[in-house]
């Protein structure tokens, strides 16, 4: 008898709870879940998907490199600006932005040389570094096989791209990169690691991927790194005459 009474009591309490929830729903209106303020900021898109939107910083407009870029030592960049693009000059060294960034959307277009010379990593090699540490590989991988985590669209030596979306030598290609900078614990370990999404020629090749650590050529990147703040975007001189154009960035 006690069990039956307890069961009836529990059913009564449950029924009351449902009734109360129904009453709450009856009192809700659509406007209670509509958020009006602050109003969403307006951004005017570019005329085409590759053109800079109104809130972007144009890092290279095809005319002048010196306004936004330096060489490794902070001096004049030694790359060739011609015909609306900038091309690596062998042994001139890397170039980097004068401004520093953390989280952003980066658009950049690149072109491997039309004349095919070399194979594997020796063909159209360059790279784009986030915060001067984390590389998205640039390489001519059109009918040119190399190690998976070192080909175009890879997060070098860490994550291979989902697919090979390369166009042929001499054709312009696009990277659209969404980058979230790491945050650190007091001891220098990652609280949240760097996270990158990459679209190569409009094709998703890195999907919200977490990096283990800064890019290294030999060895395994370390989780424990020295804490760092905002950093430049770096374009690599790997000895091949790779060209870049239409570089813009939106800080997030």
Q: pLDDT (tens digit, 9 = 90+) per residue, 170-210?
A: 999 999 999 999 999 998 889 999 999 999 999 999 999 99
Residues 175 and 198: beta-carbon distance below 8 Å: yes
Average pLDDT over residues 217-239: 90
Tokens of 173: 């290609």
Positive or negative: CA dihedral 237, 238, 241, 244: negative
d(CA 167, CA 88): 19
- pLDDT attached to residue 1: 53
d(CA 252, CA 56): 10
Angle at 168 between CA 167 and CA 169, to 5 degrees: 125
- pLDDT attached to residue 221: 85
d(CA 199, CA 174): 8
Residues in the chain: 252
Q: What percent of the chain has pLDDT over 70?
A: 90
d(CA 179, CA 132): 13
- pLDDT attached to residue 7: 52
In three-state secondary structure terms, 199 is strand
- pLDDT attached to residue 92: 95
d(CA 75, CA 129): 19
Q: pLDDT (tens digit, 9 = 90+) per residue, 111-142?
A: 999 999 999 999 999 999 999 999 999 999 99
Is 92 buried (19+), middle (13-18) or exposed (0-12) by CB count in 10 A?
Answer: middle
Q: pLDDT (tens digit, 9 = 90+) per residue, 16-74?
A: 555 555 555 678 999 999 999 999 999 999 999 889 999 999 999 999 899 999 999 99
Residue 4 pLDDT class (50, 70, 90 cuts): low
Positive or negative: CA dihedral 94, 95, 100, 102: negative
d(CA 147, CA 164): 12
Higher pLDDT among residues 20 and 233, named by residue: 233
Residue 121 is classified by DSSP as G
- pLDDT attached to residue 93: 95
120 closest CA partner among 85, 160, 93, 150: 150
Residue 146 in this model has a pLDDT that exceeds 70: yes
Residues 240 and 124: beta-carbon distance below 8 Å: yes
Residue 14 is classified by DSSP as H
Higher pLDDT among residues 185 and 13, named by residue: 185
Q: What percent of the chain has pLDDT over 90?
A: 82
Angle at 162 between CA 183 and CA 208, to 5 degrees: 25
- pLDDT attached to residue 222: 80
């Amino acid at each position: 008898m006690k069990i039956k009474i307890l069961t009836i009591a529990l059913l009564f309490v449950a029924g009351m709870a449902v009734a109360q929830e129904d009453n709450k729903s009856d009192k809700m209106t659509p406007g209670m879940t509509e958020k009006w303020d602050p109003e969403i900021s307006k951004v005017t898109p570019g005329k085409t998907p590759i053109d800079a939107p109104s809130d972007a910083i144009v890092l290279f407009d095809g005319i002048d490199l010196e306004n936004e870029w330096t060489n490794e030592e902070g001096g004049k960049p030694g790359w060739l600006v011609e015909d609306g693009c900038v091309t690596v000059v062998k042994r001139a060294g890397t170039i980097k932005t004068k401004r520093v960034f953390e989280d952003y959307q980066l658009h950049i277009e690149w072109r491997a040389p039309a004349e095919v010379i070399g194979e594997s990593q020796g063909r159209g090699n360059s790279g784009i570094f986030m915060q001067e540490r984390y590389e998205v590989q640039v390489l001519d991988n059109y009918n040119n096989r190399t190690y998976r985590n070192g080909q175009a669209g890879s997060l070098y030596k860490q994550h291979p791209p989902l697919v090979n979306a390369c166009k042929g030598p001499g054709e312009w290609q696009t990277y659209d990169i969404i980058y979230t900078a790491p945050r650190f614990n007091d001891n220098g370990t990652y609280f949240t690691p760097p996270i990158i999404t990459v679209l190569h020629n409009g094709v998703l090749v890195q999907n919200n991927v977490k990096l283990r650590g800064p890019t290294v050529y030999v060895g395994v990147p370390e989780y424990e790194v020295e804490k760092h703040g905002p950093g430049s975007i770096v374009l690599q001189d790997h000895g091949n005459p790779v060209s870049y154009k239409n570089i813009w960035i939106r800080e997030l």
